Homo-oligomer: A and B are copies of this chain.
Amino acid sequence: MIGRFAMRGFSTAGKKKVGFFGLGNMGFSMMRNCISHGYEITAFDVNEDVLKKAEELGAKIAPDVKAAAIDKDICFTMLPNTDIVQETRYGSKGIFEHAKENALIIDSSTISPFASRKMAEEGEKLGLRIADAPVSGGVGGAANGTLTFMVGCKKDHFKDIEEFLKSMGQSIFHCGSPGTGQTSKICNNLMLAIQMIAVSEGLVLGEKLGIDPKILSKIIGTSTGSCWSLNSYNPRPGIMENVPSSNNYEGGFGVSLMKKDLSIVLDSAAEVNLDLKFGAKAIEYFHELER
Q: A residues engaging B (CB < 8 A)?
A: 113, 136, 148, 150, 171, 173, 175-177, 179-180, 183-184, 186-195, 197-199, 201-206, 208-212, 215-216, 218-220, 222-230, 232-233, 265, 268-269, 272, 274, 276-279, 281, 285
**Nearest 5 pairs between A and B by C-beta?**
A227-B227, A191-B225, A194-B198, A188-B225, A191-B202
CB distance from A100 to the nearest CB of B (A): 30
CB distance from A157 to the nearest CB of B (A): 17
The quantity of this chain's copies bound in the complex is 2
* B198 with A190: CB separation less than 8 A: yes
With A176-B210, A177-B210 already in contact, the answer to whether A277 and B272 are too (CB < 8 A) is no
Q: List 26 A-B contacts (CB under 8 A).
A: A173-B219, A175-B215, A176-B210, A179-B210, A180-B210, A184-B211, A187-B211, A188-B219, A191-B195, A191-B227, A192-B224, A193-B198, A194-B194, A194-B197, A194-B198, A195-B227, A198-B198, A201-B278, A205-B272, A205-B274, A205-B279, A224-B228, A224-B229, A224-B233, A225-B228, A277-B281
* B187 with A225: CB separation less than 8 A: yes
Q: How far is the CA of A149 from the CA of B277 in the complex (A)?
A: 33
- Given A136-B223, A201-B276, A227-B228, 9 extra CB contacts under 8 A: A113-B209, A175-B219, A179-B209, A180-B211, A183-B209, A184-B211, A186-B205, A187-B211, A188-B224
* A216 with B175: CB separation less than 8 A: yes
* A194 with B278: CB separation less than 8 A: yes
* B179 with A202: CB separation less than 8 A: no
Q: How far is the CA of A146 from the CA of B48 in the complex (A)?
A: 60
With A190-B202, A195-B227 already in contact, the answer to whether A215 and B176 are too (CB < 8 A) is yes
With A176-B210, A281-B281 already in contact, the answer to whether A189 and B225 are too (CB < 8 A) is yes
* B281 with A208: CB separation less than 8 A: no
* A199 with B208: CB separation less than 8 A: no
* B212 with A176: CB separation less than 8 A: yes
Q: How far is the CA of A215 from the CA of B151 in the complex (A)?
A: 12
CB distance from A68 to the nearest CB of B (A): 30
Q: Which residues of B contact A208 (CB under 8 A)?
A: 269, 272, 274
